[in-house]
Structure 1
């Protein structure tokens, strides 16, 4: 699998699947979650309600339609909320691993990832970067390209430097 880093808007990525950093309820929210729901339109929320009436557990992943997004699927993951005491790094690692497992189930070959839990959930930035790169590189998958999408220059520079790109 090729690991790439781009700076941009995850909702505009031309990939098979985009990963959404969702909350447990999977009903939309702030940050990446809100952006994906706004850009994908009501079909994303309707599919999430139908497929996941009780939401998802922290560290788990599930998919819905991508609605109006250029991708075919949204793979929703629930990252740990460091600000609320969820500091077990294995939960963050699980988000990346589970997203790749779901991508493999779907047959997705290109997947765009945000930096999970690094925003409103307050995961320490440097560790969020290391966890993303290390976990994606260590996880066996049929995905051809895992694309880390950095929303700002700081994340872009940090991801590229850590990944050695």
Structure 2
């Protein structure tokens, strides 16, 4: 059975028909044609599917669309339109933070949620916020430097 679910997505109201247990990730990629959020493991183990929901980094691979009624969802597609997201994108480019790029969208969303909540995160807070992400390329050092750079550019200091 499908239900109509309404929520804000990247600043715009959306309404879609989805079965109650359909994961947000599938709705984003298939029904809404937003491809930046990736499927990794489907078990909340890798972080590739992380998006921001009401300012909090959340796994979209297991979160049912039915849980979103009225929520504010931000995906990687909207980062360039937000000062914090733009600072992160610039810093990730400057630090060359990432190699294959598969995990970066989820990492960016966790860093985005952190910097939206805390303007001056220390290294420990950044490490903690990104701990749920699996990056097999070994880009962790440049990823941490990129988040620190973004925080500093926004007036915070990591």
The normalised TM-score by structure 1 is 0.30
* Greater RCO, 1 or 2 (C-alpha within 8 Å, sep 6+): 1
The normalised TM-score by structure 2 is 0.30
Larger Rg computed on CA atoms: 2
